[in-house]
Structure 1
């Protein structure tokens, strides 16, 4: 039997047990890890980042492309929300499946809500089915609503990834299914066994863009159960495959998870891109092909990963706006109306750092700009806000960098005031004064 069959069976069993109150949500998942210097995530690849800055908090094989299954739908849903924002699609618009999409919707071995060949479905209900129940035919139908055809929609997905500078992804369909599950609408030139692949870093960036541009997606990804076509003969209960949501089998009170997307195929294994907001900070985690025998394995590994990131990192202010920087604070302007100017850091920088980090572990390297002469001299005139030095901040022992490829944080040293060039007579009398002062 297929992996999808067993996954649906496990979901049903979990729902039944929860209905009878037979599972305590505080003990079903792996215990929250205590603060430690490292953690072993039992998966082919894993990543944790700070959502706001993209700071990498944990990485394992994060640059290795792997099958992503239905985590693909984060890209597809981004394009749907973008079309709605741009006015190209409305929540109340209705869509009717073509024969290929209808046939896929009837395949009970796949995640689906059943669609009627002549049915009309609102964008809103298809969107909810795609996110909560990972409904493949519903996602394909939305793709048609956005682009007209599956091929054009895949082209849009590829273009969007390029805009995000994600260049090592392979996208062949809108859902994450292996191509052999598609009876129609297969992308030209792709093979029967082709599937979507990305790296953990790629997926984290997709999730980051989705949350930044459309935070309302969490209103839907946080729903543990919903009925598709409620009140009709087609009513289908949709239990979220994200078992870390409140009230479900892998939920933890210490980790208020509210999204994002699971994924499962034979090649991808059990995958999950998750997100949690705690103490005012949101982190994103990616677990690809979780290992182990438990049906909760991807959530067990995600629990370990989220707990590690939250327990072993802290935010630390390493630079304050207006801070004087050694060797780049006092500047002279021999030919200026004002001959002495001060400079300071142009912004406050707060970084995620390992919890053991102290001020002694922070290095601020200074590189003066080309306008600065010997002995910190400047040529008049010079404007307020002129950058006189660049700063590079590094943290001892932290080599993880940022998900977008950056390794360090930077800032600038800028002049607090400027000065015009002194006129001829001021310079003349200043020169005479200097001459006589040097005689004595």
Structure 2
């Protein structure tokens, strides 16, 4: 009987402590078996979770996201179009003919559109299609690799190295190792660099998601299937891995890389981007991604932290020179929102960054005078994919200030002259004593 009473008391104490625990203590953390991983808010770039995220590892076919980005950019600037056609040269054909590489099977002396090659690359991870697109855009894969590294630097990526357009090891390319790279080299990206690339691909070219989220497509008379099993309603047993809102982005596998995956999912107004690197199996990369998504969607919520028109106490005005008023009030031009973890709603403040410390009249109502940036004041430091990339909105004036007339400006200048002269005289007299 005594044991029964003791067990009952302990059970009640556990329940009571759970109910009384603050939200931030109850918030569930996440663990992943991936060697390296990261989870970010796709809208702001805020990092919600990371594990060894700056460790550079072979990304395998996640490399193709950079090829996708450069194809999209070439379409945007008019260098090519979706309907541009190209033939398959000997190099990509040799890769396509090798059964050890993933591929859809290419034919020479035939025109393929950019659209069909892009779909083969993005949906079925076709290596030959990636090389064909690289050759079309840059003339050779070697020149395309230069573009890849230049774009990575431009996008603010760190811990990366591109040596080919596919993610294969250069040692697999036989006599076709891209010029300027070594025969024993591999592409390298950290999880953070990979997430940065995915962040820009998703935000700069949303159309990429329309293709990466496609379950199956027709290519050259055959049906090709997406390697991303997390897309909802995949056929057969693959549907077991489906996850609400997943519409991208890129899987990868090589012996050195293991199984990798960059995923993205949108639920409501929230979109997340995740990267897992070096998992043990195809299934594991999706299970580990699901853990990250569960954590992100369960523990974080997009909230409006500061409304449009918010004025920061003690910094609600900016001085104005040569105006009928000496100051003008300022406020946030738009609402500021962020993906906030449970229990941390009050852990944010605003930081103003002014273009000029003093405005010169005339000043218009609604004139942008700087930025209001969100600052996290909770435990630790809230990191962002982009340096200085914390969410921000324009800081604008609430009213206009007319320029003072010439007479008042003259009086002001005269007053300043005599004021300065008087101050100088006083300073001189002080120096005598």
State the match for 2:425 in structure 1.
Answer: none
In structure 2, relative to structure 1, the CA distance for the partners of 1:82 and 1:415 (3 Å cut) is closer
State the match for 1:220 in structure 2.
Answer: 211
1:328·1:389 contact (CA, 8 Å) conserved in 2?
Answer: no
Taking structure 2 as the reference length, the TM-score comes to 0.78
Measured in 2, the distance between the counterparts of 1:83 and 1:413 equals 35
In structure 2, relative to structure 1, the CA distance for the partners of 1:326 and 1:129 (3 Å cut) is same
Map 1:284-323 → 2, pairs under 5 A: 284-291=273-280, 295-323=282-310
Report the secondary structure of 1:43's partner residue: coil
Count of matched residue pairs: 381
Deviates more, 1:257-266 or 1:158-167: 158-167
1:335·1:427 contact (CA, 8 Å) conserved in 2?
Answer: no
2:45·2:389 contact (CA, 8 Å) conserved in 1?
Answer: no
Shift of 1:124: 2.3
As a proportion of its length, which structure holds more helix? Answer: 2
Equivalent position to 2:313, from 326, 346, 367: 326
Measured in 2, the distance between the counterparts of 1:122 and 1:389 equals 44
Report the secondary structure of 2:175's partner residue: coil
Equivalent position to 2:384, from 402, 418, 421: 402
Taking structure 1 as the reference length, the TM-score comes to 0.77
In structure 2, relative to structure 1, the CA distance for the partners of 1:189 and 1:58 (3 Å cut) is same
In structure 2, relative to structure 1, the CA distance for the partners of 1:323 and 1:118 (3 Å cut) is closer
Report the secondary structure of 1:357's partner residue: coil
Measured in 2, the distance between the counterparts of 1:397 and 1:204 equals 24
State the match for 1:255 in structure 2.
Answer: 244
Measured in 1, the distance between the counterparts of 2:319 and 2:68 equals 56
Encode CA deviations 1:323-349: one digit per residue, 9 max, x unaligned.
Answer: 232212367889963466534344421
State the match for 2:403 in structure 1.
Answer: 420
Map 1:379-394 → 2, pairs under 5 A: 381=361, 383-384=363-364, 385=367, 387=369, 393-394=375-376
5+ long unaligned stretches in structure 2: 1-25, 416-433
Deviates more, 1:116-125 or 1:38-47: 116-125
Shift of 1:252: 5.8
Measured in 2, the distance between the counterparts of 1:132 and 1:389 equals 40
Equivalent position to 1:240, from 226, 249, 266: 226
State the match for 1:166 in structure 2.
Answer: 157
Shift of 1:287: 0.8
2:259·2:278 contact (CA, 8 Å) conserved in 1?
Answer: yes
In structure 2, relative to structure 1, the CA distance for the partners of 1:283 and 1:104 (3 Å cut) is same
State the match for 1:355 in structure 2.
Answer: 342
5+ long unaligned stretches in structure 1: 1-34, 373-378, 432-440
Shift of 1:254: 5.4
Equivalent position to 1:344, from 323, 328, 331: 331
Report the secondary structure of 2:162's partner residue: coil
Q: Which structure exhibits the higher relative contact order, with contacts defined as CA atoms closer than 8 Å and separated by 6 or more residues?
A: 1
Report the secondary structure of 2:161's partner residue: coil
Shift of 1:244: 0.5
2:350·2:372 contact (CA, 8 Å) conserved in 1?
Answer: no
2:257·2:278 contact (CA, 8 Å) conserved in 1?
Answer: yes
Equivalent position to 1:64, from 55, 80, 94: 55
Shift of 1:411: 5.9
Equivalent position to 1:150, from 141, 147, 153: 141
Measured in 1, the distance between the counterparts of 2:130 and 2:63 equals 10
In structure 2, relative to structure 1, the CA distance for the partners of 1:268 and 1:348 (3 Å cut) is same
What RMSD over aligned residues (CA atoms) do the two structures have, in Å? 3.1
